[in-house]
Amino acid sequence: MLRRRMSDAETETYQLYYWPNIQGRGELVRLALEDVGAPYVDVARMTTERGGGVEAILRVLEGEGGGGRHFAPPILRASDITVSQTACILDFLAGRHPELLPPDELARTRALQLELTLGDLIAEAHDAHHPIGNLLYYEDQKEEAAKRSAIFLRERIPKFFSFFESVVKENKASKREHLVGSGFSYVDLSLFHVLSGLAYAFPNRFDQVRKDIPLLLALRDRVASRPRVSAYLGSTRRVPFSSHGIFRHYPELDP
Amino acid sequence: MLRRRMSDAETETYQLYYWPNIQGRGELVRLALEDVGAPYVDVARMTTERGGGVEAILRVLEGEGGGGRHFAPPILRASDITVSQTACILDFLAGRHPELLPPDELARTRALQLELTLGDLIAEAHDAHHPIGNLLYYEDQKEEAAKRSAIFLRERIPKFFSFFESVVKENKASKREHLVGSGFSYVDLSLFHVLSGLAYAFPNRFDQVRKDIPLLLALRDRVASRPRVSAYLGSTRRVPFSSHGIFRHYPELDP
């Protein structure tokens, strides 16, 4: 079966299943849905009476909705199929909404690859405050977090930033304005979110490195001013940053 | 552009770029190449004089070979394109070798999703001995590793194993013999490797949980007896497990 036609996707309401009170990885999916103007329901943010709540996530984790069970949210449901794993969801959405990525197999591979690298950076940003594990509170691993976040800030942020800055710089087909191919893609949206999250969590460190990423900052600002993104960021659909999510601001971790 | 035809792939020699002395994530790519019998060169295992060594990896990381720069190995080169990120490489290979996954868009999404979940498990298996970071030796983070690996063994291994066992159990189209669709796919190869790695690193814990994963163990054994996999495992092309890779056996972490 080939990728579905756009006309299917245009008339469909998606269901997003993600923890209701945090941005988390669900935010990358929300940004893509918002940017294409796709109708969607953020299911777990509805009341249990209306079929929402965390219970709805648990049911779809176990396979409700078709397409088999899932290990963790975010999960996207599109009529008779459910998809999980953030980068996989974005690849799936890009196949239905060419605005997120022009239909081209090489671009698809490149986009997935860069999205997965952003996913690695997100995982490291999370583990900076939770190096021992998600099942313990931050307060129970503060000492270890101090060690891990110091390495993250000193070594890993510059390495990732330098990589993505070079990717944009070398992407002359896009006039050095985008990550993939000659124009906008969903990977630009994810980059916007990662930069916003790191600036929120580690403002001091971010200020030190911003001089090294002029092209990334310009790209971030262009994404923020896309009409639908801008409208979304000002809406109540946007969950605010907090100290429960992936990007957390603990002043002691950002000296 | 659509996925390339098999005939292109059949006549082509791939170049794999990965650290020469460890299995690492490169092993998942090696298994796929070996299982389809694709000709490939494990570039960094050749001498520097012959264009190999770590230097060859560094050049392709910076963009040599086409397709832009990469953040980390493994990287696969196929004539004029290079691809990185393990799950992305496997998705790319599956597009050229239908033996790794029948051409079907929904199966492609499901396979990618499960492969990424295996990738999460691999990352956690690594962080069990390196919770503070890759840039420090294990000996410099032994105390933290004891804490993290205890949680990994107690909470995470059962959660991942139970998930994958259920996926096979519910996959009646494959007679409960495979992870994706009605038959073999590259995800089965990766599962084989993850189970082998965990059994090597944590033999005591693995023995405790093996009763809970009869279908996964049967699948692992079927993969191991595939003729090309079996030949590969007995060859010098196979890098042995060691205490430098992702799966490490430290007796103190597997009480």
Q: Write down how long chain A is.
A: 255
- Report d(CA A47, CA A69) in Å as an integer: 23
Residue with tokens 């307060």: A139
CB contact under 8 A, A112 and B3: no
Rounded alpha-carbon distances, angstroms, from residue A223 to A91, A116, A217, B182: 19, 19, 10, 42
**pLDDT reading at B171 higher than 70:** yes
Note whether B151 contacts A171, CB cutoff 8 Å.
Answer: no
For residues B209 and B160, the answer to whether their CB atoms sit within 8 Å is: no
Q: Which of chain B's residues have a Cβ under 8 Å away from the Cβ of A110?
A: 67-68
Query: How confident is residue B2, by pLDDT bands cut at 50, 70 and 90?
Result: very low
Return mean pLDDT, chain B. 94
Chain B residues close to A78, C-beta within 8 Å:
none
DSSP code of residue B15: E
Residue B6 clears pLDDT 70, i.e. is over it: no
Other C-beta atoms lying within 10 Å of the C-beta of residue B227: 9
Partners of B78 in the β-ladder: B81
| E strand segments, chain A | 14-17, 40-42, 75-78, 81-84
Instruction: For A74, list phi and psi in degrees, rounded to 5.
Output: -70, 150
How many of the other CB atoms lie within 10 Å of CB of A241?
19
Spatial contact of B229 and B189, defined as CB atoms under 8 Å apart: yes
Which strands form A14-17's sheet, in the order they lie side by side? A40-42, A14-17, A75-78, A81-84
Interface test with chain A among B69, B86, B88, B152, by most A beta carbons within 10 Å: B88
**Nearest CB to A63; choose among B63, B160, B170:** B170
Q: Which residues of chain A does B68 touch, with a Cβ-Cβ cutoff of 8 Å?
A: 110, 167, 170-171
Which residue on chain B is closest to A147 by alpha carbon? B132
**Residue among A4, A69, A88, A190 with most chain B CBs within 10 A, to mutate:** A88
Q: How far is B27 from chain A (nearest CA, A)?
A: 18
pLDDT greater than 60 at residue A203: yes
| Chain B residues within 8 A of A141 when measuring between CB atoms | 147
**Interface mutation target, options B5, B106, B113, B161, chain A, most CBs of A under 10 Å:** B113
Q: What is the CA radius of gyration of chain A?
A: 18
- Say how many CB pairs under 8 Å bridge A and B: 124
Residue A45 amino acid letter: R
CB contact under 8 A, B88 and A147: no
Q: Which residues of A touch B91 (CB under 8 A)?
A: 109, 112
Residues in B touching A135 (Cβ below 8 Å): 151, 155
Contact B109, A83 (CB under 8 A): yes
Nearest to A1 among B72, B87, B104 (CB): B104
- Give mean pLDDT, residues B237-241: 95
Q: Which residue shows structure tokens 């940004």?
A: A31
Q: Do A88 and B67 touch (CB under 8 A)?
A: no
In 10 A of CB B155, how many CB atoms?
A: 13
Q: Give the dihedral sign, CA B105/B106/B109/B115.
A: negative
Task: Show residues of chain A in contact with B4, CB under 8 Å.
Answer: 105
Whether residue A88 contacts residue B87, with contact meaning beta carbons closer than 8 Å, is answered with no
Residues whose CB falls within 8 Å of the CB of residue B86, separated by 6 or more in sequence, listed in order: B25, B28, B29, B74, B115, B119
Q: What SS3 state is found at B42?
A: strand
Residue A66, pLDDT score:
86
- pLDDT over threshold 70, residue B154: yes
Q: In this structure, are residues A216 and A164 in contact, taking their beta carbons and an 8 Å threshold?
A: yes
Phi, psi (deg, nearest 5) at residue A42 = -90, 85
Whether pLDDT at A243 is above 50: yes
Cβ pair A69:B151 closer than 8 A = no
Q: Say what the pLDDT of residue B66 is.
A: 86
Sign of the torsion formed by the C-alpha atoms of B107, B112, B114 and B118: positive
Average pLDDT over residues A86-110: 97
Strand partners, A40: A14
pLDDT at B45 over 50: yes
**Contact present, B30 and B20 (Cβ < 8 Å):** no
Over 90: is that where the pLDDT of A6 sits?
no
Which residue blocks in B37-85 are alpha helix, DSSP H? 53-61
Q: Which chain A residues have a beta carbon less than 8 Å from that of B144?
A: 131-132, 144, 147
Token couple for B249: 């056996």
Nearest chain B residue to A145, by CA: B132
- For residue A13, what are its two tokens? 């309401």
Helix (H) or strand (E) holding B124: helix B105-127
In which band, very low, low, confident or very high, does the pLDDT at B12 lie, cut at 50, 70 and 90? confident
Q: List the single best residue of B71, B79, B91, B165 to mutate versus A (max A Cβ within 10 A).
A: B71
Nearest to residue B91, comparing CAs of B75, B73, B115? B115
Strand B40-42, strand B75-78: pairing: unpaired
Sign of the Cα torsion B111, B103, B106, A90 reads positive
DSSP B125-174: HHHTT-SS-TTS-GGGSHHHHHHHHHHIIIIIHHHHHHHHHHHHHH-GGG
With CB atoms and an 8 Å threshold, state whether B117 touches A71.
yes
Q: Do B148 and A171 touch (CB under 8 A)?
A: no
Partners of B147 on chain A (C-beta within 8 Å) are 132-133, 141, 144
Span B188-214, pLDDT tens digits: 999 999 999 999 999 999 999 999 999
pLDDT at A8: 56
Q: How confident is the model at residue A76 (pLDDT cuts 50, 70, 90)?
A: very high
Residue B82: how many CA atoms within 13 Å on its side-chain side? Answer: 23
Q: Are B145 and B128 in contact (CB under 8 A)?
A: yes
- The answer, yes or no, to whether the previous bond of B74 is cis (omega within 30 of 0) is yes
**Which of B68, B151, B160 lies at the smallest CB-CB distance from A170?**
B68
Number of H helices, E strands in chain B: 11, 4
- Hey, are the CB atoms on B123 and A123 less than 8 Å from each other? yes
- ipTM, 2 dp: 0.96
> Above pLDDT 70, what percent of chain B?
96
Cα A146 to Cα A126: distance, rounded to the nearest angstrom: 13
Report yes or no: A35 and A27 within 8 Å, Cβ to Cβ: no
The band of A1, judged by pLDDT with boundaries at 50, 70 and 90, is very low
> What pLDDT sits at residue A12?
82
pTM of the model: 0.96
From the list B2, B85, B171, the residue facing A105 with the nearest CB is: B2
What pLDDT does residue B10 have? Answer: 59
| Cβ neighbours of A87 in B, within 8 Å | 87, 116
